[in-house]
Amino acid sequence: MNGFARTVRAALRCIWVVCVLGVASASQAQMPAPALSTSTIDGHKVALQDMRGKVVLVTFWATTCTICLAEQPDLVKTYERYRSRGIEIVAVAMPYDRPDLIKQHLAKYPMPFQVVWDKDGLIGRQFLGILGTPTTFIVDKSGRLVSKTVGAIDFDKLRHFLDASLG
């Protein structure tokens, strides 16, 4: 594929993301993702910059959010399906959740991706302020925010996007 064809394909993919997945504003499509650097609930280091070259879903959730809990099995399936093709998921538990409740939830409903606790709300503030859960961002391979979804994820559209983005 020549350079022009790659450029057109990338532009069409960005237009598709903006139209279908619901970017909050056109300017956000060009916005670099925050420099997330934290630890998982188990103490492992997580840095968004280390995930460059992958598509990253950063999803804000809570143990008390029924929509969040209902979509977790689909998040797990999506991760398992696309992990080898270059997807990462970082599930960010809200500051009002307690670590013991998060760990209890994970013991009962394991998540194979990284789970962090936004203890002081800093992560949410870095991601344009989180007003409710679930809120999910897509960060493209180059580290740019390309989508923000407030509410339930449309997994058919997400899979369509991932198929186009991950080849």
CB 68 within 8 A of CB 91: no
Q: What is the pLDDT of residues 105-133, one digit of tens each?
A: 999 999 999 999 999 999 999 998 898 99
Total tally of structural domains belonging to the chain: 1
- Tokens 């369509």 — which residue? 160
CB 95 within 8 A of CB 126: no
Residue 83: domain span: 3-166
Report the candidate in 67, 38, 77, 76 with the shortest Cα–Cα distance to residue 134: 67
Report the candidate in 11, 2, 18, 4 with the shortest Cα–Cα distance to residue 146: 18
Q: How far is CA 143 from the centre of its chain?
A: 12
Q: What is the pLDDT of residues 22-74, one digit of tens each?
A: 434 344 456 899 999 999 999 999 999 999 999 999 999 999 999 999 999 99
- Tokens 């903006």 — which residue? 18
CATH number at residue 108: 3.40.30.10
Distance between start and end Cα atoms, the chain: 13
Q: What is the pLDDT of residues 67-110, one digit of tens each?
A: 999 999 999 999 999 999 999 999 999 999 999 999 999 999 99
Q: CA 99, 158, 133, 30 torsion: positive or negative?
A: positive
Q: Which residues pair with 88 in a beta bridge?
A: 56
